[in-house]
Structure 1
Amino acid sequence: MALTRQEILDGLKQLGVREGSVIMAHSALSAFGKVEGGAVTVIEALIEAVGPEGTLLMPAMASEQPFRIESSPSTVGTITDVFRSYPGTTRSLHPTHSVAGIGPLVDQLIAGHIDHPTALGPQSPWGRMAQRDDAYILLLGCDQDRNTLLHCAEEAVDGAYLNTISRTYIDAEGRERTKALEKFPGPHRDFIGLDPLFESARAMNVGKIGTAVCRLMSAKQTLMLAIEALRRDPAAVLCDNAHCRDCVQQRADIKRARLADESFTLSAVIDGTGLGVDEVGQALWLIGAEGIGAVEIGPHWARALREHADACREVAAHLGGEGIKAAIIHADVPLRDGVEASAAVDALNAVIEATAVFAPDYLKLPGYPRGTGDADGSVAHAVELLDALGQAAESAGMRLLIENHADALWSDTAGCDRVLTSVSSPAVAFSFNPAHFAHVGEHPFLATYKRARAKRYTEQLMLIDGCTPPWPGYTLLAQGQGEVRELMSILRCRSFAGHFTICLKDLRGAESFARQAAEFWRSLDLM
């Protein structure tokens, strides 16, 4: 049996639609099953349900460019397309979020929509509805993913993933115009996940008309609940599917916005992804998904790039395309007993020339191996080399980093302090590796950081945890003895302007990288 107008009207009343109310109806005609008279019957039932004192609105959004108010078809359902030209309706002029309506409040609700900088702000039809106690969103055979009002919540909290777009339309004089729309919502959302929130707050009635599951909700209360959810969690309306490119990218936008409030720069050792230079696109996708805008090219990638000049240009092009900077590059410069300063400087200059396409801020030097002979002589020679290298780097507008290693002269607090305080070049800075201090039995925060003068020279904190034997040498953050969270926290207290660098060492791999990044964000959220 076909669904009749009276049956639809009865269903609307049972759902809670009252005469005199303002209704924005989103719909799917096919969800009702067979309807006697089709879309027109549904429209007539809705008009009768709100009565002569009520106002019925429907989205009349069009994909056609330029938008023409008289002829551009609505692309959000058959009922809406029939309604836009139904006798007595008025359609708003808007290239992306046109609305059609009938009733005494239509002009008030849609007036001037085109004149506002955003499509879904307080002065949009949806925004104006949400300021009324008698306004409701009605979903006929569709779910929250079709509820345009929820985009108003994203705009209200200034969602980091909203964009500016441009669309064209034909104005009242027949001229083609271009409209820039700020804070415009993007692709995939998980609005359906808000259903339990609305139900538990008793903001929504759910019923069935024919075979169509229908929802009626207060526009004001629904918007308020959605805004509160987004204030608690900026990603509240994004899905958590790790393979959903849209939501991964939008979560990255949220992370970038969070980092914009920090004084430090978040970077990552690209080697830690476990991918090679021939997989640079995938590696940068993993890094960019975490909102990271800078990388360290570690020893594995640096070696590969050194051996393949064409790869340098390709990797640099990928970095530029993704807006990611190669801020730190490993420099294979000889640092050991017996090396002449001139030879070390020549090697550094060769690296500077080879990496010029990346324009890095830092070159990271290898450790100076501890010998079995004269320790004082080795330290003096290391200082001599570092001063010479620092002078060469400064001339090229770069800085140098040395990182503590268990097998290097600068392995512990005393060794790091001895070298760093002896080097006169201001271009030589320190990379603090908590795992490596743990390897030599130190407490990286409770002892090393508090006592070491090396902290004055620290311009990079390696985000890698680890333990002294017999426990694992490297672990994820906050799972070892590196006291990494404490170090992050105290450096943030100093408005640390250097790099926090996600690092994997022996744990490298795509999955491990994602887990390490997640631990970083979890740690930051705890501060």
Structure 2
Amino acid sequence: MTEAAAIARSNGPVTQARLVVDLQRLGILPGMTLLVHTSLSRIGWVCGGARTVIESLLQAVGPDGTIVMPAQSCELSDPAGWCDPPVPESWWETIRTTMPPYDPHLTPTRGMGQIAEIFRTWPGVQRSAHPQVSFTAVGPLSADILANQPMDDPFGIRSPLAALSDHNAQILMIGTGWDTCTALHLAERLADPDGPKFQDGTCITANGERRWIRISLPETQTERFEPFGARLDGNSLLRHGHIGSAASRLFPLAPAICMAVQDWSRQEQPPQSDQ
């Protein structure tokens, strides 16, 4: 959505004071731990842009709260698998040998939106170590949440998502669809821990040297997120409201994951024989 379209859908400038009130009405309380997904353009024309949204979130949870956002950098992957857009096969080896290694301070997000990218550089924000699907966080629980993220299982039982579940985090979706709900990847891993994997590559720094490495990652099925989300939308766990002009949701991570695991575990089970 263009800035002109954001202006057209707004009945006036969206200010920090308004955003804080909207967050409180939705159910955000001081001290909460939030995994946040946001679309700046859906909020309307925000006075101060992404900075104002971040400051509003921090004000709403206060100094005892923790804000977490996905900070994915999918370009740090094997170019052989790129499709949006693809690159010629003749480029692949050059890309593998020259790709800058992951740096939690320098590597930008990709496809995460303005708010997640500005949050990445926010004073005091920490970032997890995975080169492709990292998370960023600020607040007293940041170090604990980001401490573990295995290279080959970044969304599993030792991931930031699992830590968020342990800390009774809430998921806040501001103008975003269920296809962006990263936490549901944890449900996928719990429902099918031995599920199929695919081969990929990435670039890291090891012992002070740049290295291209091969990794094996669990396959994901994000097409399941929308149907599950539609069911969750009607559940009492979830609160609906608006942040600015953006339709928004707030719900506890752990119970939602439990529901998804129950649904998807049944889907993974083979049909029973009549014999």
| TM-score using structure 1 length | 0.43
User: Which of the numbers 153, 168, 175 marks the counterpart of 1:118?
Assistant: 153
Name the counterpart of 1:155: 189
Q: Which residue of 2 aligns with 1:214?
A: 248
Q: CA deviation at 1:166?
A: 2.6
* Residue in structure 2 matched with residue 482 of structure 1 by the alignment: none
Higher helix proportion (structure 1 or 2): 1
Q: Write out aligned runs for 1:48-447 (5 A).
A: 48-65=59-76, 66-75=101-110, 76-113=112-149, 115=150, 117-133=152-168, 135-158=169-192, 162-171=196-205, 173-178=208-213, 180-185=215-220, 188-234=222-268, 258=270
Query: Aligned partners of 1:94, 1:116: CA distance in 2, in Å?
Result: 6
In 2 relative to 1, CA 174–100 (structure 1 residues): closer, same or farther, beyond 3 Å? farther
Identity in percent: 30
Distance (whole Å) between structure 1 residues aligned to residue 243 and residue 109 of structure 2: 23
Looking at both structures, which has the greater relative contact order when contacts are Cα pairs under 8 Å and sequence separation is at least 6? 2
Change (3 A) 1:202 1:165: farther
CA distance, structure 2, for counterparts of residue 199 and residue 33 of structure 1: 23
SS of 1:166's partner is strand
CA contact (8 A) 1:58 1:100 kept: yes
Instruction: Report the Cα distance in structure 2 between the residues aligned to 1:21 and 1:119, rounded to whole angstroms.
Output: 24
SS of corresponding position for 1:207: strand
Q: Which amino acid counterpart does residue 54 of structure 1 have in structure 2?
A: G
Which residue in 1 is equivalent to 2:16? 5
* Count of residue pairs the alignment pairs up: 237
* Equivalent residue for 1:18, pick from 9, 15, 29: 29
Separation (CA, whole Å) in 2 of partners of 1:177 and 1:219: 34
Letter in structure 1 aligned against 2:210: R
Quote the Cα distance in structure 2 between the aligned partners of 1:174 and 1:56: 32
Give the counterpart of 2:45 among 22, 34, 37: 34
Q: Aligned letter for 1:197?
A: R
Question: How far off its partner does 1:27 sit?
Answer: 1.0
C-alpha deviation, 1:164, in angstroms: 3.0
State the 1:179 CA deviation: 5.4
Quickly say closer, same or farther: Cα 1:168–1:116, change in 2 above 3 A.
closer
Counterpart secondary structure, 1:182 = strand
How far off its partner does 1:210 sit? 1.7
Moved over 3 A (4+): 159-162
SS in 1 for 2:115: helix
Give yes or no for contact 1:68–1:169 (8 Å, CA) kept in 2. Answer: no
Contact 1:54-1:104 at 8 Å conserved across structures: yes
Distance 1:25 1:137 in 2: 6
Q: CA RMSD in A?
A: 2.1
* CA–CA separation in structure 2 for the residues paired with 1:54 and 1:174: 37
Moved more, 193-202 or 135-144: 193-202
**Equivalent in the alignment of 2:83:** none
- Give deviations 1:420-471, integer Å, cap 9, x for gaps: xxxxxxxxxxxxxxxxxxxxxxxxxxxxxxxxxxxxxxxxxxxxxxxxxxxx
Q: How does the TM-score come out when normalised to structure 2? A: 0.79
- CA deviation map 1:288-316 (0-9, x unaligned): xxxxxxxxxxxxxxxxxxxxxxxxxxxxx
1:404 counterpart residue number: none
**CA drift at 1:194:** 1.6
CA contact (8 A) 2:191 2:262 kept: no
Q: 1:43 aligns with which of 54, 60, 67?
A: 54
* Distance in 1 separating the partners of 2:175 and 2:71: 17
CA contact (8 A) 1:59 1:97 kept: yes
**Aligned residue identity for 2:52:** T
Which segments of 5 or more consecutive residues in structure 1 lack a partner in the other structure? 235-253, 259-523
- Quick check: 1:116–1:123 contact (8 Å CA) kept in 2? no
